[in-house]
Structure 1
């Protein structure tokens, strides 16, 4: 009887663990009960509401940077490279992103084989006519990151792409790109809108874990991962470093 009770207790613990939806207290997946109050607190002026209709699934497992960039360009309606298959509508795709100007910095083959670095994606986005400010993870601390997110993620003129190290969040994979959608003050978490939608839902991540994940070395570039802050040319005065 004692052994039966012990086994039942273990089973209940495992079921409770499974329902929680995460093995990492730094992460709260979108579809778990713990995420519900955070969802309800997303501010009306958060970037999330503009981004989510345009959130793009990466077409290959190395196209995360391209899918993130396309998501932001379409959200900003900055479609200088609209795919002709949608004409007369202007809609950027992961194929039409590679304009002749972009090809000076990165090609579909290079992205397919090794992904894309902070500098390459920043240059590629600038060639589309938007403003890009690069913020390496090793150049800021957690408090500075928090202040930045509180401001930028409720400013409709700016959008944030995040380059981070998945294993630092106990996720499978290596370096990854996605889009940041919101910051929750009460829980001190940011919402990652993951473009690998076939593998991960949107995820609320603690600021300390987020900083740890962007303050990592990208072996391809030899430089730190971090954030790209994207804005339209008309917002030059607001795009302060």
Structure 2
């Protein structure tokens, strides 16, 4: 083979090598990437749609009292307002209302109570109200609609110990007996839904407690994304044993008992 042929072969080989490399790189660059699709709920939550046997076969008084008034929060900071509006309507369900009596709505409740704490707390773009403020607002809201609470207990869940679980179970069991008392939970939403983007404080009423299955039904007022879902006792406790946005106090629940 003469020098000219050797040079020609070398050039051809180099071109082929470059072409193969370019083709491989092009293929790698153009290969479609798989989009990761997150499920609506993580493993900690079960939709009521998928597990409704309890409310069909048991009295579930709070569920049936609250469900007709299931209200979506009017903005991202108004979970307290939506939750309390539901409770006020549920508490009035057994009252002899007249044709002129309006149901409680979020705007009307806010206006009737006329609390600067609430007005500022539920303004769009704010972080809402904390648990202690919620306890006060629940009492003011009930009184604004002619309801006299017998007792309002604010419980900060500062641990997930057996003692705290025992206390929470006791409240849930008592609450499940009739519709004259209600539990409003304050929790970190992501602990319940399984969505890390929801790692924020949230408020929602408890609709039922299945003691046998050890499950709690949460009526999440974030209706843009969620519906009623069950969480385990452990998850229920864990979500409340978190600190609020200020980092000062633990979350927990408000337990309100009405005069019969």
Q: 1:158 to 1:221 in 2, by over 3 A?
A: farther
Look up the match of 2:240.
Answer: 214
Query: Could you state the TM-score of these two structures normalised by the residue count of structure 1?
Result: 0.76
Contact 1:70 1:93 in 2 (8 A): yes
Deviations 1:113-172 (A, max 9, x none): 121111112112222323421111127622221222011122221011010001223234
Look up the match of 2:156.
Answer: 136
Look up the match of 2:30.
Answer: none
Query: Could you state the TM-score of these two structures normalised by the residue count of structure 2?
Result: 0.71
Between the aligned partners of 1:47 and 1:107, the Cα distance in structure 2 is: 25
Indicate the SS of the match to 2:218.
strand
Contact 1:138 1:224 in 2 (8 A): yes
Shift of 1:27: 1.6
Look up the match of 2:23.
Answer: none
Between the aligned partners of 2:250 and 2:211, the Cα distance in structure 1 is: 26
Indicate the SS of the match to 1:216.
coil
Look up the match of 2:136.
Answer: 123
Q: 1:115 to 1:157 in 2, by over 3 A?
A: same
Between the aligned partners of 2:211 and 2:135, the Cα distance in structure 1 is: 29
- Structure 1: stretches of 5+ with no match in the other structure: 1-16, 79-86, 236-241
Runs of 4+ in 1 over 6 A off after TM superposition: none
Look up the match of 2:102.
Answer: 90
Contact 1:153 1:160 in 2 (8 A): no
Shift of 1:46: 2.6
Selected match of 2:47 from 4, 9, 29: 29
Selected match of 1:108 from 108, 119, 123: 119
The number of equivalent residue pairs is 206
Contact 1:70 1:94 in 2 (8 A): yes
Selected match of 2:224 from 198, 203, 220: 198
Between the aligned partners of 1:200 and 1:68, the Cα distance in structure 2 is: 14
Contact 2:48 2:228 in 1 (8 A): yes
Deviations 1:57-88 (A, max 9, x none): 1111110110000000011118xxxxxxxx82
- Structure 2: stretches of 5+ with no match in the other structure: 1-37, 94-98, 144-148
Between the aligned partners of 1:64 and 1:22, the Cα distance in structure 2 is: 19
Q: Which has the larger radius of gyration?
A: 2
Between the aligned partners of 2:178 and 2:240, the Cα distance in structure 1 is: 22
Indicate the SS of the match to 1:141.
helix
Contact 1:117 1:221 in 2 (8 A): no
Selected match of 1:227 from 253, 256, 260: 253
Indicate the SS of the match to 2:106.
coil
The CA RMSD measured in Å over matched residues stands at 2.7
Q: Does 1:153 align with 2:191?
A: no
